[in-house]
Amino acid sequence: MVLLRSLIANLNPHLDRNPTLLRHVKNSTIRKSLSTTSSFVHPHVKQALERSTEEHLAVDRSTIFHPYTSLLNPTPTLPVKSAKGCTLTLETGESLIDGMSSWWACVHGYNNPSLNAAVTAQLSSMSHVMFGGLTHRPGVALGDTLTKLTGMDSAFICDSGSISVEIALKMALQYHRANSNPEKSKFITVEGGYHGDTFGAMSVCDPVNGMHSAFESVLPKHVFCRKPTEDPECIDLSEKLKAHGDSIAAFVIEPIVQGAGGMRFYSPEYLNKARKLCDSHDVVLIFDEIATGFGRAGKLWAKDYTEVQPDIMCIGKALTGGYMTSAATLSTRKISHGVSKPPSNGPPLPLMHGPTFTANPLACAVALESLNLLLRPSIDGEPESEPWWKTRVDMINHHLSDKLSAARSNPKVVDVRVLGAIGVIEMCSPLNVPEVTRKCVELGAWLRPFGNNLYTFPPYVIEEEELEVLTKAMISIIEDDKCTTC
């Protein structure tokens, strides 16, 4: 303050003799220095935002890691300028119809006016506050609504799908510790599964296609049984539980659809049997509905194909309509109370999880609006009409079933399968991703195959003529020898 006073006096010696004017100048100077808005743009930021598309892509290639790529030999990327509805517009001028929903999340399309409004409204009250010791309406409203929609009892709203799986694993371990069964410290799961990229989640992904070989020395070893498609009677799970049940805390599985591990669909009967086996071996049943939730597999939750209620359920991806990262781990009362019971030989523990952005209010607010959009009656003024998501998913299902069936006669095709709003063409060998991408741009579509599977998870807002672009592209890709071989 002394410094400020002498500075002001130096600037204008008369001010020092006028206390009112001095106070005014002091306040406005302080206000200026504390101002929260600024027109300053750092030169690095300016350069990065204003460089040509070519330079932008060169920096991207040399400096930026994209998912599962090597900086020594990066796979090509397309520069997206904007996205609206189901259309991605590239800096290079092309428009692509999105068949991926940005990794299965963006069910309402991009730049959706209702979701934009929900984010904007939430921004004007608070974008974030810590959830430790504080609570807020969007967080509680979302958790409460999710428990009611899933038939579960409690919710932990967390950062991403992988993290929701970590929480589920912790819950199962803590539950057995609290029940004085600490020897139940392993997990059992099926081959061909995918549950995320964090360490706990990786350890229950497929042992061959997952990242076990890259992290073998640090990943814990769990028990794997055969894929549900190969063991519909659940015999392997039954035998492995007989052999290892005493050391198993939980069985982790994606219900009905094994997604990123191979896009396989299996019978609900497997889950009925698995529930009984888990009960008889005191094993917690965890359903990972991160990919299948919110109608994607044709029911609101894939578990709705069965009568089975899991003990823990993970949801994510479409939770915020693809707007921002968030997920949730839901549990029954038995688990949510069970984790914190005092064990016979130690102190009780709270649930040991609580990262910085737990229940971020922006994510919660947009998730609530996404639920409103999904669950609204499909016919205005008719509350009994089917929910909006169902009519959209049914329309997509019919279109995919009809148009992809043409692929069946192609000798390079092993299988064509459609469930809910998921369409898959399985080839007899891996697809050439850069070639598929090039062909897609030519055909006005955005599809990204993995392994032998060319697939689509379109946004639910997609129109028939846009779907037509995707299905035509899929048929054309499998006929192109540069994209596929056998």
Question: Which residues are identified as catalytic?
Answer: 68, 194, 288, 317
Tokens, residue 425: 């063409």
Tokens, residue 164: 């929701």
Q: Does 165 bind ligand PLP (CB under 6 A)?
A: yes
Q: Which is closer to ligand PLP, CB of 161 or CB of 338?
A: 161
Given the rule CB under 6 A, which of 71-79, 174-182, 254-262, 457-465 is the region that contacts ligand PLP? 254-262
Given the rule CB under 6 A, which of 11-19, 287-295, 345-353, 391-399 is the region that contacts ligand PLP? 287-295
- What residue is closest to ligand PLP based on CB? 161
Q: Nearest-CA neighbor of 363 among 123, 164, 101, 197?
A: 123
Q: Which is closer to ligand PLP, CB of 99 or CB of 316?
A: 316
The least CB distance from residue 411 to ligand PLP, in Å, is 30
Q: Does 196 bind ligand PLP (CB under 6 A)?
A: yes
The least CB distance from residue 207 to ligand PLP, in Å, is 16
List, in sequence order, the alpha helices (H) in 12-160: 19-34, 43-50, 53-63, 101-104, 113-125, 137-150
The least CB distance from residue 29 to ligand PLP, in Å, is 47
Q: Nearest-CA neighbor of 302 among 373, 173, 393?
A: 393
Integer CA distances (angstroms), 375 to 11, 272, 317, 370, in order = 64, 27, 17, 9
Q: Which is closer to ligand PLP, CB of 324 or CB of 395?
A: 324
How far apart, in whole angstroms, are the C-alpha atoms of residue 363 and residue 91?
Answer: 28
Helix (H) or strand (E) holding 336: helix 333-338
Given the rule CB under 6 A, which of 56-64, 109-117, 159-167, 413-421 is the region that contacts ligand PLP? 159-167
- 101, 112, 150, 162: residue in contact with ligand PLP (rule CB under 6 A): 162
Q: How many residues at the interface with ligand PLP, by CB under 6 A?
A: 14
List, in sequence order, the alpha helices (H) in 227-294: 235-244, 268-280
**Contact criterion met (CB below 8 Å) for 153 and 332:** yes
- 110, 131, 194, 301: residue in contact with ligand PLP (rule CB under 6 A): 194
Q: Which amino acid is at 275?
A: R
Q: Which is closer to ligand PLP, CB of 224 or CB of 388?
A: 224
How far apart, in whole angstroms, are the C-alpha atoms of residue 134 and residue 396?
Answer: 42
The least CB distance from residue 294 to ligand PLP, in Å, is 13
Q: What residues between 111 and 140 interact with ligand PLP by CB under 6 A?
A: none
Q: What residues between 299 and 318 interact with ligand PLP by CB under 6 A?
A: 316
The least CB distance from residue 289 to ligand PLP, in Å, is 8
Q: Which is closer to ligand PLP, CB of 96 or CB of 253?
A: 253
The least CB distance from residue 98 to ligand PLP, in Å, is 17
Nearest-5° angle of CA 291, CA 411, CA 257? Answer: 15
**Phi, psi dihedrals of residue 209, rounded to the nearest 5°:** -80, -15
**Contact criterion met (CB below 8 Å) for 97 and 444:** yes
Q: Does 172 bind ligand PLP (CB under 6 A)?
A: no
Query: What DSSP letter does each residue of 451-476 carry, written as one string?
Result: TTEEEE---TT--HHHHHHHHHHHHH
Integer CA distances (angstroms), 337 to 175, 249, 334, 348, 352, in order = 9, 16, 6, 11, 13
- 188, 260, 366, 418: residue in contact with ligand PLP (rule CB under 6 A): 260
- 228, 259, 423, 458: residue in contact with ligand PLP (rule CB under 6 A): 259
Q: Which is closer to ligand PLP, CB of 253 or CB of 374?
A: 253
- 136, 176, 195, 222: residue in contact with ligand PLP (rule CB under 6 A): 195
Q: Give the rounded distance of the alpha carbon of 428 from its chain centre.
A: 28
Q: Which is closer to ligand PLP, CB of 287 or CB of 388?
A: 287
How far apart, in whole angstroms, are the C-alpha atoms of residue 199 and residue 140?
Answer: 29
The Cβ of residue 456 has, within 10 Å, a number of other Cβ atoms equal to: 29
Given the rule CB under 6 A, which of 6-14, 210-218, 288-296, 454-462 is the region that contacts ligand PLP? 288-296
- 225, 241, 290, 363: residue in contact with ligand PLP (rule CB under 6 A): 290
Q: Which residues contact 423 (CB under 8 A, 6 or more apart)?
A: 400, 401, 404, 417, 455, 456, 471, 474
- 100, 168, 256, 291: residue in contact with ligand PLP (rule CB under 6 A): 291
Q: Which is closer to ligand PLP, CB of 194 or CB of 251?
A: 194
Q: What residues between 464 and 483 interact with ligand PLP by CB under 6 A?
A: none
Interface residues toward ligand PLP, by CB under 6 A = 160-162, 165, 194-196, 254, 259-260, 288, 290-291, 316
